[in-house]
């Protein structure tokens, strides 16, 4: 009988522990895990930031894209500075944008008739992504699908920074 009286206390403690993990902001757990595995070193990111500042162009990002990513609402335009590079091996265009107000970065990859856009915070932690086909409205990408593409995009930029 005594054993069964301890069982409710065990469940109360277990519920309390679970509630702490559920109530804790998930961004903290994700950010720590992803930031530690960031594909770009500080030196590579510094080099890319310098290219954006020195060789980049001021552009207005499509409000369709920023609305889908959750950066803006109701066709609000964001102006930012971006740097583009071509992958000579396959003709793909890669762009990286510094967003205003410390909102992070956008990384975009244009290949064939497709575009993939990734929004990250200042530490290059993936926040949202979209993809689309030329001539059609882009759509949000599932986070799971976006992680693989984003990893490849950051690896491309790491290689580009090392070789240029």
121 and 148 together in one domain: yes
29 and 48 together in one domain: no
79 and 50 together in one domain: yes
| Number of domains the chain is built from | 2
Contact assessment for residue 120 and residue 105, using Cβ atoms and an 8 Å cutoff = yes
User: 5-59, pLDDT tens digit by residue?
Assistant: 544 443 333 333 333 333 333 333 233 334 445 679 999 999 999 999 999 999 9
Report the predicted TM-score, pTM, of the whole model to 2 decimal places.
0.76
27 and 43 together in one domain: no
User: 94-146, pLDDT tens digit by residue?
Assistant: 999 999 999 999 999 999 899 999 999 999 999 999 999 988 999 999 988 99
Q: Where in the sequence is the domain holding 21, given as residue range(s)? A: 1-37
Write the CA distances from 47 to 19, 25, 106, 126, 138, integer angstroms. Answer: 43, 32, 16, 20, 30
């Amino acid at each position: 009988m005594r054993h069964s009286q301890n069982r409710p206390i065990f469940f109360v403690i277990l519920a309390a522990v679970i509630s702490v993990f559920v109530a804790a902001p998930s961004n903290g757990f994700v950010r720590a895990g992803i930031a530690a595995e960031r594909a770009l070193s500080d030196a590579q990111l510094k080099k890319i930031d310098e290219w954006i500042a020195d060789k980049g162009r001021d552009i207005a990002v499509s409000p369709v894209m920023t609305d889908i990513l959750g950066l803006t609402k109701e066709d609000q335009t964001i102006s930012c500075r971006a740097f583009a590079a071509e992958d000579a091996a396959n003709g793909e265009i890669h762009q990286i944008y510094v967003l205003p107000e410390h909102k992070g970065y956008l990384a975009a990859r244009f290949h064939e008739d497709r575009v993939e856009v990734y929004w990250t915070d200042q530490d290059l932690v993936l926040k949202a992504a979209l993809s689309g086909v030329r001539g059609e409205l882009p759509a949000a990408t599932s986070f799971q699908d976006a992680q693989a593409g984003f990893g490849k995009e950051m690896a491309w930029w790491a290689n580009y920074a090392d070789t240029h």
